[in-house]
């Protein structure tokens, strides 16, 4: 594996860095750098800037309006967004449902949904987890029963990020309750304005309001809104989760947090040896994770899709993110810097979403170690 970037790739990095430096709204940059919560307008303005530049969907092929970048260019763009304190656009439309529609949807679905996802005209959220089906996602109980040319959907989804902003939700539903639990699941696209859809906010321990419960009561969803074959939703969900887990490592953003923490330590004169030892361990693990990410990048550049290796990135990436927030909180204390406390609490969830770290260890054991 060649870890050296080519002159063309260095030139591309410089182009991206200049663009972000010039185009990112100053108030959005300040909020990201300070760790403040972003509103829909903050994301929407940055999305609009990137869309006009042709860079809103780095992972999309050019035939659907993406820049057609290769894996290395996408990696560089992600790094430079982090280094430039640009917000990561909500992934539910651009990174999650769009590749599913491209891969498994039909032409009518691609024409209807992809342009509005790309432009930011329509926002999406993800309807996977339920009160009784989180890590064991295949145990989901939301039902979709046939009624002519519609499904009638009943059930509840929970921990739904940005559902209060979303125009659409992609939902895993049980269409065949008598089949094995992985085989009776289908993938539906649901308009959030459909009668019977109710969004209930959930306030998190840090005071945030980004997650919600979404309840479906006799919601009529056209059969045309099913992606792919009935009963094949579990296959599509696994395809989506591999891409989601690959993006959770957050190496570049962790490096930015590490720099901030060191600056804070220098300003406050923190030189406790035990604290410095903890910091050094995290920094070493972050370097190791960066090489693992590059190995995954090299495989993707060779035409391979993300596989079980994405689980390694997910586990270590979230562990490092949590360790950094713990160090930041220990350095300043919750009463000195409430934002540090909020970040600490908020990052507790990272080891749970996209499949808990315990589930990822099982995937690694079965598919990599062959245990």
DSSP string, 209-258: --EEEEEEEEEEEEGGGEESSTTBHHHHHHHHHHHHHHTT--HHHHHHHH
Pairing of β 211-222 and β 197-202: antiparallel
The length of the chain in residues reads: 371
Q: Between vectors from CA 20 to CA 297 and to CA 163, what angle results, nearest 5°?
A: 75
Label each residue of 4-65 as H, E or C: CCCHHHHHHHHHHHHHHHHHCCHHHHHHHHHCCCCCHHHHHHHHHHHHHHCCCCCCCCHHHC
- Runs of H (alpha helix) within 54-122: 71-83, 91, 98-104, 107-119
Q: Which helix (H) or strand (E) element contains residue 127?
A: strand 124-127
Residue written as token pair 């934002």? 339
C-beta of residue 351 within 8 angstroms of C-beta of residue 325: no
Half-sphere exposure at residue 180, Cβ-oriented, CA atoms within 13 angstroms: 4
DSSP 8-class letter at 336: T
**CB of 81 closer than 8 Å to CB of 205:** no
**Count of C-beta atoms within a 10 Å radius of residue 27:** 10
Q: Are 328 and 264 in contact (CB under 8 A)?
A: yes
Told to judge if 244 belongs to the known catalytic residues of this protein, a careful annotator would answer yes
Catalytic residue among 242, 244, 293, 300: 244
Residues belonging to the active site:
244
């Amino acid at each position: 594996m060649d870890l050296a970037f080519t002159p063309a790739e260095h030139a591309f990095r410089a182009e991206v860095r200049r663009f972000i430096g010039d185009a990112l709204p100053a108030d959005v940059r300040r909020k990201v750098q300070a760790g403040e919560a972003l509103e829909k307008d903050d994301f929407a303005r940055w999305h609009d800037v990137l869309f006009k530049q042709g860079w809103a969907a780095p992972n999309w092929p050019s035939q659907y309006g993406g820049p057609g970048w290769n894996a290395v260019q996408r990696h560089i763009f992600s790094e430079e967004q982090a280094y430039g304190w640009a917000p990561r656009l909500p992934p539910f439309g651009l990174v999650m449902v769009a590749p599913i529609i491209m891969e498994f949807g039909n032409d009518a679905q691609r024409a209807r949904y992809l342009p509005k996802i790309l432009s930011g005209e329509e926002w999406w959220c993800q309807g996977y987890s339920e009160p009784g089906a989180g890590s064991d996602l295949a145990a989901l109980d939301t039902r979709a029963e046939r009624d002519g040319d519609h499904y009638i959907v009943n059930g509840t989804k929970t921990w739904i990020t940005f559902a209060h902003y979303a125009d659409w939700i992609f939902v895993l539903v049980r269409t065949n309750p008598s089949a094995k639990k992985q085989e009776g699941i289908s993938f539906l696209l649901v308009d959030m304005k459909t009668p019977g859809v109710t969004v209930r906010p959930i306030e998190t321990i840090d005071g945030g309001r980004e997650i919600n419960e979404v309840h479906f009561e006799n919601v009529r969803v056209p059969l045309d809104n099913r992606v792919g074959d009935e009963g094949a939703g579990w296959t599509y969900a696994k395809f989506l989760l591999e891409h989601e887990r690959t993006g959770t490592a957050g190496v570049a953003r962790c490096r930015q947090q590490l720099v901030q923490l060191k600056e804070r330590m220098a300003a406050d004169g923190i030189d406790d040896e035990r604290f410095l030892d903890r910091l050094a361990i995290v920094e070493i693990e972050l370097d190791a994770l960066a090489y693992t990410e590059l190995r995954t990048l090299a495989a993707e550049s060779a035409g391979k899709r993300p596989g079980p290796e994405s689980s390694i990135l997910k586990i270590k990436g979230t562990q490092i993110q949590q360790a950094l927030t713990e160090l930041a909180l220990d350095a300043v204390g919750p009463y000195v810097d409430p934002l540090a406390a909020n970040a600490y609490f908020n990052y507790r969830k990272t080891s749970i979403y996209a499949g808990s770290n315990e589930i990822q260890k099982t995937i690694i054991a079965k598919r990599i170690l062959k245990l």
